Structure 1
Amino acid sequence: MWGVLSASLFFLPFNRLIASVILAAAIGMGVYHHVLTPLGLACLAFPAVAVWLHHQYRQQRIIRLAAEIFLVAYSVALFYHLIPGFNNPLMVVKDKVGPLSSLYSMYYNFDKALVPFLLFVCLPTLFNAGFADRKVGSRAWIILVLCVPALLLLAVLLGGLKIELHMPQWILAFLMANLFFVAMAEEALFRGYLQQRIRQWLGAYPALIITALLFGAAHIAGGMLMVAFATLAGVIYGLAWMWSGRLWVPILFHFGLNLVHLMFFTYPFYQQP
């Protein structure tokens, strides 16, 4: 089921019809395996109606705007697991990847994986904004890539992390979940939709800063150090989107940072012995 759901997300930027057919299969499998309950399936009827209204009345601005606002709000609710009826399975249960690492648990989040589908309806340029900053050369991109380990080393200096190498046995499950159910979902919301919309209203750099701050605030549960770390990471991801205009670039930056964090640093945090 999770491979099918990942495949639907993989095809989404290239062919919405194929992605939708595969998603329907994943939803059916989710119902069969009780990951999606009848209540959860019923709750999906509301965004389905909003999607229909957005498409059917796309020439009527008020209806289209109302449908978009509802779909974005519903996406945020899915992001924070506020929609009932989803039994997201726990794949890693309070594991310590190393002696200095804190306990870590990992879910496979069916609800969060639906976010890119809803936002793609709202914004057809979600995955490809149709621009690229030609003034940004290879040197700037190299510096941006180096900012990923630099940010993690900064967290070490601030005491939030320690260098600790490990290769957990559940890394393959982590790779799929983190790429499709975390990085893709979060980047679709923050860079693909929010930064792109705010850029249309306020310009490129205000959009970059505002979105990074919102991304940091979304990690408030991890404490203020995590908020600061996520805000700086949001600047990196935001620049990657702003310079390329393509969502897959910040997705790979986000995924790469999380993978480097897991393999070379205490994960998710440093815990004093």
Structure 2
Amino acid sequence: MWCILAGSLAALPFQRRLALLLGTIALGWACLEGVVDLRGVVALGIILLIARVKMHATGRSRVLTAGGEILLVIAALALLVHQIPGFYNPRILDDVQAGTHSAPFTLYFNFDKALMPFVLLAALPTLLFTRSDYHPKCWQWLLLILSMPVLLMVAMLLGALKIELHFPSWLGSFMLANLFFVSFAEEVLFRGYLQQRLAGWLGNLPALFIAALIFGLAHIGGGLLLVVFASMAGLIYGLAWMWSGRLWVSTLCHFALNMCHLLVFTYPIYWQG
């Protein structure tokens, strides 16, 4: 089921009909497995109805189009923070440690969060691909890529992380969840939707910094230092999105930084317990 759901998200930027088919299969399977119950199905049906009304209103009624987009964004945020009833996200890892000096953490497979890209795509058709007026040189891309391990090394110098190589037995589950249900879902919201909408209102550079700051503030539960580093990471992902106009590029940057963090450094933080 989870591989099918991941496959639907992988297909979404390129083959939307295939993505919808795989997503429907995954949803049906989730219902059979008890991951989604009738309340969740009804909620998704209402969201689908809103999406269809918005689609038919586009170009005819600005009020219905704008109202439909607002409702879809609210629904996407509700999915993100698990406020729509009827979803029972399974706990895959419970209080595990990547290494001796890594803090314990828990990992869930979030079915509701994984549906957010479909909802936001209905809200904004250019969510995954948009025109870019930037033509960065190869050396600029290289600097952007190198900035990710540099950011982690700065965190290490400040005492938040330590070098600790890992290759845990649950690496496959972590990679699946982190690529599709974390990195892609978060990039859809913060870069594909928020940064793109802000760029249309304020321009590219203000949108880049504001979206990065909001992304950082979304990590406030981890403390002020995490907010700072998440904001800086948001700038990296935002530049990747702004330069390429393709969400899969910023998603791969997001995933690459997370994997570098897990495999090379204490994850999620340095812990002396």
Letter in structure 2 aligned against 1:237 = Y
Aligned to 1:161: 161
Letter in structure 2 aligned against 1:191 = R
Letter in structure 2 aligned against 1:96 = Q
Alpha-carbon distance in structure 2 between the residues aligned to 1:19 and 1:118: 13
Alpha-carbon distance in structure 1 between the residues aligned to 2:8 and 2:94: 27
Alpha-carbon distance in structure 2 between the residues aligned to 1:158 and 1:73: 37
3-state SS, counterpart of residue 44 of structure 1? helix
Letter in structure 2 aligned against 1:195 = Q
How many angstroms does 1:255 deviate by? 0.2
1:24-82: per-residue Cα shift (whole Å, max 9, x none)?
A: 11110010000001111122122111111111211211101101001111111111111
Indicate whether 1:10 and 2:19 are aligned: no
Q: Aligned residues: percent identity?
A: 48
3-state SS, counterpart of residue 6 of structure 2? helix
User: Superposition pairs for residues 1-273 of structure 1, below 5 Å?
Assistant: 1-59=1-59, 60-134=61-135, 136-273=136-273
Alpha-carbon distance in structure 1 between the residues aligned to 2:109 and 2:81: 14
Runs of 4+ residues deviating >3 angstroms:
none
3-state SS, counterpart of residue 89 of structure 2? coil
Letter in structure 2 aligned against 1:100 = H
Letter in structure 2 aligned against 1:238 = G
Number of aligned residue pairs: give it. 272
Letter in structure 2 aligned against 1:264 = V
Letter in structure 1 aligned against 2:64 = I
1:205-249: per-residue Cα shift (whole Å, max 9, x none)?
A: 000000001100111111111111100000000011111111111
3-state SS, counterpart of residue 125 of structure 1? coil
Letter in structure 2 aligned against 1:196 = Q
Letter in structure 1 aligned against 2:190 = F
3-state SS, counterpart of residue 118 of structure 2? helix
1:62-111: per-residue Cα shift (whole Å, max 9, x none)?
A: 10110100111111111111111111001111111111100011100101
3-state SS, counterpart of residue 105 of structure 1? strand
How many angstroms does 1:130 deviate by? 2.0
How many angstroms does 1:132 deviate by? 4.6
Alpha-carbon distance in structure 1 between the residues aligned to 2:58 and 2:15: 20
TM-score after normalising by structure 2: 0.98
3-state SS, counterpart of residue 70 of structure 2? helix
RMSD: 0.9
Alpha-carbon distance in structure 2 between the residues aligned to 1:162 and 1:74: 39
Which runs of no fewer than 5 residues in structure 2 stay unpaired? none
3-state SS, counterpart of residue 93 of structure 2? strand
Alpha-carbon distance in structure 2 between the residues aligned to 1:8 and 1:223: 34
TM-score after normalising by structure 1: 0.98
3-state SS, counterpart of residue 268 of structure 1? coil
1:134-186: per-residue Cα shift (whole Å, max 9, x none)?
A: 1x211111111011000101111111111100101010111111111001000
Which runs of no fewer than 5 residues in structure 1 stay unpaired? none
3-state SS, counterpart of residue 107 of structure 2? strand
